[in-house]
Amino acid sequence: MKTVLTGITTTGAPHIGNYVGAIRPAVVSSKRRDARSYFFLADYHSLIKGIDPEQMGRSTLEIAASWIAAGLDPDNVVLYRQSDVPEILELSWILTCMTAKGLMNRAHAYKAAVATNEAAANNDPDKGITMGLYCYPILMAADILMFNANEVPVGQDQKQHVEMARDIAARFNHHFGETFALPEAVIEEDSAVLPGLDGRKMSKSYGNTIPLFLPAKQLRKAIMKIKTNSLEPGEPKNAEQCSVFAIYRAFATPEETAQLRKRYAEGIGWGDAKQFVFEYVNAHLSVARQEYERLIAEPAHVESILRAGGQRAREFSVPFIAEIRDRVGVRPLA
Ligand code: TRP
């Protein structure tokens, strides 16, 4: 039986790019019979981004509610909040002591922050960089190794971190004996990456997202704002380069997609294309959105789901951390 594990940082409500690229595949995978699935809300990771305390709770609620509303069945998977499993932090320190500093120097997120400082001609290349950011791949390794995960579905940008988790696990196993499974990243297809309002990849850091469960009116407004070119109605349009079309394709069947491609070639006007895509996406999401709104209004219920998931996660992590402690020599005297 394989273990599949993935986490999502609690820094704001999911957008439709997260849905297509991560949430929807996770829901499909959660129905696999040949795997145990662990899905968690990475609240300690969000501290790295300097999230404020109010926003943390709000974001945890929004993300948990989104996953459940999108069809993740908490009875079928272990759905939990990272901070409800304190063994992860304990493991994080043990792994920190097994991790070469040079490995962390090579992490993309850290290197990017240094590069930004250098470009700004700061005399301190580490300006504004916390140890949280620097050591973040170790915390992520602890998330993964705590549950002996075999498969880790992530976006391309997280591939390096999963490889680092694998390196750290191998080093630990070499020193202390076979303990951890070696995890592998499962990378989403490129087609699962959605463009945002401005045509670049939809991403919170670009501020070009469409939140997943926007009320219908606001969803329409957002779709109407998507950048298109200045071709007039009647002029043939290239569907492949159009964000509105890409969003439609992520939701529609191949036949429906082919039909809209044809209407682009025939010169559909931008207003009509956007209205059409809005109506389709809105209909597709409306049942889940109702469920989302119901869950958001009941934080105590969502809390109880997360607590129950945390308990199930600890059925694994508590005995496993005891074994790990023993291996490294953190043991009772008698
Ligand atoms: N770092 C991941 C992200 O930003 C989220 C994450 C944290 C994660 N821990 C993980 C993903 C463990 C997979 C496995 O997207």
Tens digit of each residue's pLDDT (9 = 90 or more) over 80-107 = 999 999 999 999 999 999 999 999 999 9
132 Cα–ligand 1 center, Å: 14
Structural domains in the chain, CATH included, are 2-193+298-328 (3.40.50.620), 216-293 (1.10.240.10)
Q: Which helix (H) or strand (E) holds 59?
A: helix 53-69
Give the ligand 1 atom nearest the CA of 143.
Answer: 12
Tens digit of each residue's pLDDT (9 = 90 or more) over 2-29 = 999 999 999 888 999 989 988 888 898 8
pLDDT for res 182: 98
25/20 Cα distance (integer angstroms) = 7
pLDDT for res 12: 85
Give the ligand 1 atom nearest the CA of 140.
Answer: 9
pLDDT for res 51: 86
Q: Best mutation site among 135, 161, 163 for ligand 1, i.e. most ligand atoms within 8 A of its Cβ?
A: 161
Place of tokens 């895509």: 277
Strand partners, 2: 35
Q: Best mutation site among 10, 23, 45, 168 for ligand 1, i.e. most ligand atoms within 8 A of its Cβ?
A: 45
Tens digit of each residue's pLDDT (9 = 90 or more) over 105-115 = 999 999 999 99
* Amino acid making up residue 312: R
* Amino acid making up residue 64: A
Tens place of pLDDT per residue across the chain (334 aa)? 999 999 999 988 899 998 998 888 889 888 888 899 999 999 999 999 888 999 999 999 999 999 999 999 998 999 999 999 999 999 999 999 999 999 999 999 999 999 999 999 888 999 999 999 999 999 999 999 999 999 999 888 899 999 999 999 999 999 999 999 999 999 877 656 899 999 999 988 899 999 999 999 999 999 999 999 999 999 999 999 899 999 999 999 999 999 999 999 999 999 999 999 999 999 999 999 999 999 999 999 999 999 999 999 999 999 999 999 999 999 999 9
115/126 Cα distance (integer angstroms) = 9
Give the residue whose CA is nearest to atom 13 of ligand 1.
Answer: 6
54/34 Cα distance (integer angstroms) = 39
Give the ligand 1 atom nearest the CA of 153.
Answer: 13
pLDDT for res 188: 73
Non-local CB neighbours of 188 within 8 Å, separated by 6+ positions = 21, 22, 25, 153, 154, 155, 156
309, 258 in Cβ contact below 8 A?
Answer: no
314 Cα–ligand 1 center, Å: 19
Give the ligand 1 atom nearest the CA of 155.
Answer: 15
Give the residue whose CA is nearest to atom 15 of ligand 1.
Answer: 8
Q: Which of 195, 174, 205 is nearest to 20 (CA)?
A: 195
Count Cβ neighbours within 10 Å for each residue of 248-277 and write b for 16 or more, e otherwise. bbbbbeeeebeebbeebeeebebeebbebb
165: Cα within 13 Å, side-chain hemisphere: 30
Residue ranges lining ligand 1, Cβ < 6 Å: 5-9, 42, 45, 140, 143-144, 152, 154, 158
42 Cα–ligand 1 center, Å: 7
Q: Best mutation site among 6, 40, 47, 48 for ligand 1, i.e. most ligand atoms within 8 A of its Cβ?
A: 6
Q: Best mutation site among 48, 136, 158, 193 for ligand 1, i.e. most ligand atoms within 8 A of its Cβ?
A: 158
Q: What is the dihedral of CA 324, 329, 330, 334, to 10 degrees?
A: 120
First CA to last CA distance, the chain: 36
